[in-house]
Amino acid sequence: MADYATLLRDHVTLTCRSVDRIFLQAYVPRLQSVGMVCQFLRWQRGYPIPSSAAFGKIGEAYTAEVHRFAKACGIPVRRFVKGEKKEEIARPYIEAAAAGGAGRVALIGIAQEKASAWRSWPARGQRGAAHPHMEWGRQMAFVNHFYFYLWDAEWGPAFWKTNAYAPFPVWLWLNGHEWAKRQLAKAGASYTALDRQFEVSDTRVFDRPAAGRAFFEGLIRDHLDLGRPDQVSLVFGRKVVLAGPHPTPGTFRTKVLTKGVDPQITCYYKSSRLKQYFKEHRALRTELVVCDTRDFGVGRRLNYENWNALRDVGEHANQRLCDAEAADALPAPDVVTLNQVTRPSVTGEGQHAPALRFGDARVMALMAAITGFCHLITGFDNHALAQRMRSLLDEGYSSRQATYDLRRLRRKQIIYRIEGSHRYQLTPAGRAVAVLFTKAYGRILGPGLAALDPQLPGDLAKHSPLALAWKDLARQLDRFIDHGLAAA
């Protein structure tokens, strides 16, 4: 059977890269300070004594205007109950609006949700005064949020959410795939939809569902230790209850992935995450979900430069993950490369490069640490390496030791420094070496030596073909030697 690198190379019939879900937030930035809030209430809204009670009146007027707008346009209004799935409730209304053809608001939903709101109270000694001095602060409060679900001729289903409390936030949700579907429909092109934060996705459709599932079976099996994703999960197509009076019947295993079980691999970087899963039993979907643009040094304002910068971050991270997975299944590096890595050497600039000896506990932990998929997004630095090494070694590991290890990895051309930063990425040859070290040590040497242990209990040895063969070899050698000595 072909390895998963071959499946990814030879059985993908369509690759689609796009911006998927977009979740934008806006607010009035000048209403983030007490002084500007008081000026707004006093001079723009005409309240002689600025207080949070004024925001209550503004909110009442806004609510009345929303209901007036809904009544004038014939838009249904629904108050959501806690725990309801808002999108499922709104879907029939949006579909009805889509059938009409023209873009319009399909439903206005109202939900009580927590929000940070301005609160004021009379300063000490000011209570009862004709013109009291007010103290201000931000407090969490349950306020009405208004969901405007709409159908747009260009973007398809979308919604925006707002409330009537300063700084008057607005949240806008859009879907790039829905936009693409609208454009295909306008062009008269046929397509099959796979499904419906700023999210950049890479979708690769396999020629056969079996090829895609074989890819993920090999991928998860090979990366439970290698690459060390933060989370490998199998998501069942139904709710599974393992305890209680009514557990879900059946036995749940994950060795073979079958229909109704969706595998996922997830890697986290700060507040963002890189996720990969099997979509609709046909396509490999890789997604970078950016929850904070500043994780990648990109501003939060929506403009041309920030948009393109985020797209580049997402596309490069998605591509690096797929490239790394394919590279992990390639043949081992040549003997010359291994000799250069495992023995002391000198760089082209005449610098000494200490050996990275196979089997050394620190070296093996180092190789396992640098293959982490979480490093594919923006690389790793001294602090990240030290943290991961501490989790792999039984002994302590300092920042100074990380500096030394980073230096010898660079001189062995295992890693390179990202220009303009103190972060590092694996070179192609470096990934091959690190993968070989990790696989050989973790899957061959370690388990093999354990099976060959003479003190291995018999009840464990009988389940290991290697242990049984080794013990049989030992017995035959003993007989041969005893026979030879007896003959002498």
Name the pTM for this structure: 0.62
Q: What pLDDT was estimated at residue 424?
A: 95
Q: What pLDDT was estimated at residue 326?
A: 76
CATH class of the domain whose range is 335-448? mainly alpha
Q: What pLDDT was estimated at residue 324?
A: 81
Q: What pLDDT was estimated at residue 254?
A: 38
Give the pLDDT mean for 435-440: 87
Query: Which three-class secondary structure state does DSSP give residue 88?
Result: helix
- Domain borders along the chain are 4-18+192-241+255-292+302-327, 28-122+136-168, 335-448, 452-487
Query: Which three-class secondary structure state does DSSP give residue 21?
Result: strand
Q: How far apart are CA 433 and CA 29, in angstroms?
A: 51
Give the pLDDT mean for 132-150: 89
Q: What pLDDT was estimated at residue 150?
A: 93
Say yes or no to pLDDT of 411 above 60.
yes
Q: What pLDDT was estimated at residue 236?
A: 46
Q: What pLDDT was estimated at residue 252?
A: 44
Which letter does DSSP use for residue 444 in this model?
I
Q: What pLDDT was estimated at residue 343?
A: 93
Q: How far apart are CA 463 and CA 469, in angstroms?
A: 11
Q: Over the range 232-242, which residues count as b (16 or more CB within 10 Å of their CB) and which as e?
A: beeeeeeeeee
> Angle at CA 384, nearest 5°, toward 343 and 446?
50
Say yes or no to pLDDT of 410 above 50.
yes
Residue scoring higher pLDDT (436 or 457): 436
Q: How sure is the predictor about 184, in pLDDT bands with cuts at 50, 70 and 90? A: confident
Q: What pLDDT was estimated at residue 450?
A: 78
- pLDDT tens profile 194-235: 554 566 777 878 777 777 777 776 776 666 666 555 555 544
Q: Which of 480, 478, 458 is nearest to 468 (CA)?
A: 458
Say yes or no to pLDDT of 266 above 50.
yes
Residue scoring higher pLDDT (261 or 485): 485
- Using alpha carbons, list the distances in angstroms from residue 296 to 20, 291, 326, 378: 18, 11, 25, 8
